[in-house]
Amino acid sequence: MPVPGATPEGREALRLLLTRYSVSAKHLREPGPGDDELWAMAMAALRAPDHEKRVPFRFAVARGEGLERLAALFVDYGRRHGKAGPDLEREREKAMQAPVVVAVIARINPGDDVVPVHEQWTTVGGAIANAVNALHFMGYGAKMVAGARASDPAIAAAHCVEGEILVGWIAAGTMHEPAKARGEIDPSCVLGRF
């Protein structure tokens, strides 16, 4: 089906959006997004629908030394879970695969009288979606991951201050091989009538 849109720019933007897919960290290499591109990613995240503009999230970028810190946290996590030798090395690799890893940190205020918690979380999700879309538009592969490490208290404490929640990480970089094609989900399964 041709992509609808009133202008060629709109059609191209929509075409790009409809071709976004996640690229896991093991397929990502240098170069990763630079400062200007991460700035644009954050601007895109800030375009997510956000009731009363609470901005219930922030990003923490790990590159170089930051990735070493993340790797040390993952190795410590592995040790605490009984891993040793090559398994511990894999923990380190997990953190070091992508050239840029952006932690997504939620700042949900349960006491907000106007914006309920579910709306604040919705904004966090929108911000993540806009961020990975922006990275895709700029030519980078990216994937949002969380898993057990994101909810580990020691790893979370290294990222968050009081009241914040570590949601997970967006791994970003250049794809070193084409990603596998994936099947489309039929939009009729989400598009109904009221």
Ligand X SMILES: Cc1cc2nc3c(=O)[nH]c(=O)nc-3n(C[C@H](O)[C@H](O)[C@H](O)COP(=O)(O)O)c2cc1C
User: What's the CA gap between 161 and 154, in Å, rounded?
Assistant: 12
- Selected from 33, 78, 141, 168, the binder of ligand X by CB under 6 A is 168
Please state the closest distance from residue 106 (CB atom) to ligand X, in A: 10
Q: Does 127 bind ligand X (CB under 6 A)?
A: no
Give SS3 for 182.
coil
User: Which range binds ligand X by CB under 6 A, 9-17, 29-37, 67-75, 141-149?
Assistant: 141-149
Residue in the structure block whose two tokens are 């059609």: 11
Nearer of residues 103 and 115 to ligand X, judged by Cβ: 103
Q: Around Cβ 82, how many Cβ atoms within 10 Å?
A: 7
Among residues 3 and 179, whose Cβ is nearest to ligand X?
179
* Range 19-38, binding ligand X (CB under 6 A): 21-22
Least distance between ligand X and beta carbon 19 (Å): 10
Q: How many angstroms separate the Cα of 156 from the Cα of each of 60, 62, 80, 105, 142?
A: 12, 14, 15, 9, 21
Between 113 and 187, CB nearer to ligand X:
187
Nearer Cβ to ligand X (94/99): 94
CA distances from 165 to 86, 104, 161, 178, 191 (A): 30, 9, 8, 33, 32
Report whether 112 contacts 120 (CB < 8 A).
Answer: yes
What is the C-alpha separation between 180 and 79, in angstroms, rounded? 33
Q: Looking at 31, 34, 139, 147, which residue binds ligand X (CB under 6 A)?
A: 147
Single out the residue of 163, 164, 177 nearest to residue 58, CA to CA.
Answer: 164
**Segment interacting with ligand X, rule: CB under 6 A, options 58-66, 110-118, 138-146, 157-165:** 138-146
In the complex, least distance from residue 145 CB atom to ligand X, rounded to whole angstroms: 4
Binding of ligand X at residue 175 (CB under 6 A)? no
Total residues binding ligand X (CB under 6 A) = 10
146 binds ligand X (CB under 6 A): yes
145 binds ligand X (CB under 6 A): yes
Cα distance between residue 32 and residue 141, in whole Å: 9
How far is 128 from 125, CA to CA, in rounded Å? 5
Q: Which residues of this protein are in contact with ligand X, per CB under 6 A?
A: 21-22, 128, 143-147, 167-168
